[in-house]
Each structure stands twice: as structure tokens, then as C-alpha cells.
Amino acid sequence: MRIDILSIFPEMLAGPLETSLLGKAQAEGRLEVALTNIRDFASDKHCSVDDSPYGGGAGMVMKCEPVFAAVESLRSQNSLERVVLLSPRGQRLTQQKVRELAAAPDLVLLCARYEGMDERISDTLVTEEISIGDYVLSGGELPALVLVEAISRMIPGVIGDWESVETDSFFAGRLGPPQYTRPPVFRDLAVPDVLREGNHAAIARWRRKEALRATRIRRPDLLVDLDSEEKKLLAEIEQETPISEREK
């Protein structure tokens, strides 16, 4: 998969893209990420990429000309079928959206700065706007990195053990189970016995149940489309800790 990221601060992206699993995914040819500096496509003598907003008011707005030119320059390497603008006004990112984007052969990510981009860019070039949450950052670079890392985890081979992806929070619509490592007892806090007894069926059942318990407590909104096993486990959980008791 190829991802082109367009920004006026591509240097913010280079380090994280070379690090750890993202760097390895690119070295192994599973993912190609290319950075384009929008400023390289400014045509005036000051290389300006922004201007003051029509109608007045605070801040600056990113101009159409360099952004259009930068996106259009990618035409020979990228289909430009999915041009995503990172924006707090966009659709909030979910794991489901990440999986959908990871299935595309290529993607363009547009990072804005200042007050955002001229709306005509959204109206014509951009195919969707994505927000990473209901808060405002100073630019789209960190959101683009969030998106690239989340997408990379969906590409076969990037995470060595696919089972670890499948049991992650949100993959199957629930939170993930709690995890423990050595030592077995730390300051009187013991690891649950079942995890140390080597009974794989019992461990799988325990993990499924504890994932449901965490989901029920922290994100009850996710508990939809329960299968019969989940209904049984939730009934057990309710007997052990009724919601009403927990809230007292």
C-alpha cells in the first residue's frame, strides 16, 4: 500500500515513520509512505502557502493553488481516489474506518495548519475528512501519523502475530482483555492463577470473559450483537458483580 502525506512540516513526520514497526514495514516493502512538502508547490516569490481569511477574522487559511498543485503532482504514483483531509470537522476515526482505509491500494493524507484549508479544497479534491477526536491540534501531522500507524497494523505481516491484532480492543468490537507478565506476585499483587496453569481452553475463556467485563464497565455502548457464549459470560459477570452494586 502507498500513502502520500502532504504537509508544510514534513520533517515532523520523518522520524516517527522511520521508527519501530513503521520503519520495518517500509523496509520490508509492505508499506510505502512518501512525504511531499506543500511549500515546494507555492508559485509566488515568497513561497506562501497561506493568506488571510475572506471576511476578516483571526488566523490564516491555506491557499488553494499550492495544495492543488501538490496533490496533482502525485498523479503518476497515486490513483488519487482517496484524498483524506485530517480535520477536527471530519468523521471521527474508528477501527472500522481504519480497516476500510487499509484495504485501499493507495491514499493521500492532507495535513492543514493555521485555521485550516480553503473550503474549495474540501469541496473538490478531498474525498473524506477524518478527525482523530473532539479536540484541536495545531496541525494535521500528528493525526496523519495516528492514521498511518493504525492502518499499518491492518496490513498482513506488519504485526508478526495476527492473533495479537485480533484480540486488540475494537478489532472484534469489544475492549481487549487485561494482560500480565512476570513476576507472578508483585507487592502482594498476584497474577490470576488461571493464566499460570497452562490450560489453554481455560485461558481463552478467561480472556474472553475479562474482555467482556472490561467492556461492560468501561464501554457498555460497545456491547451490541452478542453471541450466545458472550450472553452466558455476561450473565456470569452480572452475578459476580451486578452493575447496581458496582456503582454504589
Instruction: Please tell me which residue in 4, 10, 66, 88 is annotated as part of the active site.
Output: 88
Q: How far is the CB of 202 from ligand SAM (least distance, A)?
A: 42
Beta strands in the chain (DSSP E): 2-7, 32-37, 50-51, 61-62, 83-92, 106-110, 128-131, 185-186, 189-190
Cis peptide before 183 (omega within 30 of 0): yes
Question: Closest CB to ligand SAM among 116 and 177?
Answer: 116
Burial class of residue 220 in the structure, from the number of CB atoms within 10 Å of its CB (0-12 exposed, 13-18 middle, 19+ buried): exposed
Question: Closest CB to ligand SAM among 86 and 108?
Answer: 86
Question: Beta strand 2-7 with 189-190: parallel, antiparallel or unpaired?
Answer: unpaired
The answer to whether residues 90 and 129 touch, using CB atoms and an 8 Å cutoff, is yes
Q: How far is the CB of 217 from ligand SAM (least distance, A)?
A: 27
Q: How far is the CB of 59 from ligand SAM (least distance, A)?
A: 7
Q: Which three cell numbers stand for residue 153?
A: 497494523
Question: Closest CB to ligand SAM among 117 and 154?
Answer: 117
User: Is residue 153 flagged as an active site residue?
Assistant: yes
Instruction: Please tell me which residue in 65, 106, 115, 129 is annotated as part of the active site.
Output: 115
Question: Beta strand 50-51 with 61-62: parallel, antiparallel or unpaired?
Answer: antiparallel
Q: Which three cell numbers stand for residue 21?
A: 514497526
Q: How far is the CB of 224 from ligand SAM (least distance, A)?
A: 26
User: Is residue 4 flagged as an active site residue?
Assistant: no
Question: Closest CB to ligand SAM among 6 and 211?
Answer: 6
Q: Report the C-alpha gap between 175 and 208 in whole angstroms.
A: 10
User: Is residue 88 flagged as an active site residue?
Assistant: yes
- Residues that bind ligand SAM in the complex, under the rule CB under 6 A: 86-89, 111-113, 115-116, 131-133, 135-140, 143
Give the nearest residue (CB) to ligand SAM: 140
User: Is residue 227 flagged as an active site residue?
Assistant: no
Which residues form the catalytic set? 88, 115, 153, 168
